[in-house]
Amino acid sequence: LGGGRVANSTKRLAPKEHVIAPPNTTFGELGVDDWLTDTLKSMQIKLPTEIQRACIPPILAGKDVIGGAKTGSGKTAAFALPMLQKLSEDPYGVFGLVLTPTRELAFQIAEQFRVLGKNIGLKECVVVGGLDMMKQSLELARRPHIIIATPGRLRDHIRSSSGAVNLSRVKFLVMDEADRLLSPTFAPDLGHILPHLPKNRQTLLFTATMTESILALRDAEEDEKKKPFVHMCS
Ligand code: ADP
Ligand code: MG
């Protein structure tokens, strides 16, 4: 039995065939819309980083993606750009949920969404510990497009709120710093949150290091959806 499991997971670990667009490929050539490339230009961002070249096309194509790249390589925009592009086409309900292990990361991610999404009137909402629950509930009731949350506080809202957090229309689940999120610390919180998301969502896992628990989550989702993840590393 054990042997079978090992063999299976070894097979799945084999890199899937994928192509990364060459350096100097533009955001436009990756499929990013003009309104976003214009915003990027105004931020002095001209060319995509390697992890962005690797991940933006499969995310736009609807794939579940694991993106591995070291800190500072631009992983946030690698998921935020394709999410914003899809959101601009279909802005209904809470569109994206981004989970991250710390408040600081949540605020940083929210800031990138805010800047990149300024042309489409993006409503983002940060849900983290240490902020007033009532204020957050009111913000959640205003139906943000993107929720950026630490797991503990989001769980509190799901438990306490009378329908303020409706995750039933989420199209994208992002686990940023997935290695840390999928550590035992957050397991009980994630166990409460994930069942509230629709099964047909796109799942994006971003991490600096690959761990067994990331691969376990991938295996569980692949089995359920009968659809493979794309692995992209830079
Ligand atoms: P990571 O999550 O991989 O640690 P971040 O997404 O936080 O990295 O990005 C690190 C920094 O790089 C941010 O300040 C971000 O604005 C910047 N950045 C992102 N994409 C690009 C790019 N294509 N060109 C230049 N800078 C970028
Ligand atoms: Mg990051």
Does the beta carbon of 74 lie inside 6 Å of ligand 1?
A: yes
Q: Would you say 155 and 133 are in contact if contact means Cβ atoms under 8 Å apart? A: no
Domain ranges within the chain, ordered by starting residue = 2-233
At 54-105, the pLDDT tens digits run 999 999 999 999 999 999 999 999 999 999 999 999 877 899 999 999 999 9
CA dihedral 94, 97, 53, 50 (to 10 degrees): 150
User: What is the predicted pLDDT for the residue at 17?
Assistant: 55
Q: Does domain 2-233 have CATH number 3.30.465.10?
A: no
Atom of ligand 1 nearest to the CA of 47: 23
For residue 68 and ligand 1, the question of a CB distance below 6 A is answered with no
pTM: 0.93
CA gyration radius, the chain: 17
The pLDDT tens digits for 19-54 are 899 999 999 999 999 999 999 999 999 999 999 999
- E-state strands within the chain: 65-68, 96-99, 124-127, 146-149, 172-176, 202-207, 230-233
ipTM: 0.99
CA dist list (Å): 145 to 25, 51, 141, 150, 232: 29, 24, 11, 17, 26
Q: Distance between CA 121 and CA 106 in Å, rounded?
A: 20
Which is the closest atom of ligand 1 to the Cα of 49?
A: 23
Q: Decide whether any atom of ligand 1 lies within 6 Å of the 234 Cβ.
A: no
Query: Closest ligand 1 atom, CA of 108?
Result: 7
